[in-house]
Structure 1
């Protein structure tokens, strides 16, 4: 899985349209094998991004959980601590 794609479910405030689209963009780039598609493939990439973003938003909107929403700042701090521990030499 692409390391740049972050979980978007169960956060307060909920994931924005921009965050969902950014995850779709990363996914399409990963499976398409190019960060900058050729002009001939740009339309295919754009269509895939829009379809995947819409499907992702539908998924996020329909998920149900009994767990309280996570705090974005706390999760970011945890990720930063994990990264510091992993790269500490």
Structure 2
């Protein structure tokens, strides 16, 4: 589940609200053990997603670095190469 949470800090362009909320959703799913909560837990689940999203937004807004922002396309290519090395290229 949490493998889907990606680093969101120090990218150009910055992480979108949708990316931050998706990471919060994955985090809450991992903590709760629910992919989809029951009706009885839906309100608590949604509240937690909102609170984690806001905390993540505050964190990303307050971090500082002297490093150059990372390029999304370069990072995607690096991840693709790592996956090909780890899992093979799928043509076998």
- Report the TM-score range of the alignment, normalised by the length of the smaller protein: over 0.9
Q: Could you list the runs of 4 or more consecutive aligned residues of structure 1 that deviate by over 2 angstroms after TM superposition?
A: none
In structure 2, the residue matched to 1:75 is 75
1:35 CA displacement: 0.4
For 1:22 and 1:30, how far apart are their aligned partners in 2?
Answer: 12
TM-score normalised by the chain length of structure 1: 0.97
For 1:4 and 1:40, how far apart are their aligned partners in 2?
Answer: 26
In structure 2, the residue matched to 1:35 is 35
TM-score normalised by the chain length of structure 2: 0.94
1:11 CA displacement: 0.1
What number of residue pairs does the alignment pair up? 89
In structure 2, the residue matched to 1:64 is 64
**1:14 matched to 2:14:** yes
Q: Secondary structure at the match of 1:3?
A: helix
For 2:86 and 2:39, how far apart are their aligned partners in 1?
Answer: 39
For 1:70 and 1:48, how far apart are their aligned partners in 2?
Answer: 29
Which stretches in structure 1 are left out of the alignment for 5+ residues?
none
CA RMSD, 1 decimal = 1.2
For 1:64 and 1:18, how far apart are their aligned partners in 2?
Answer: 22
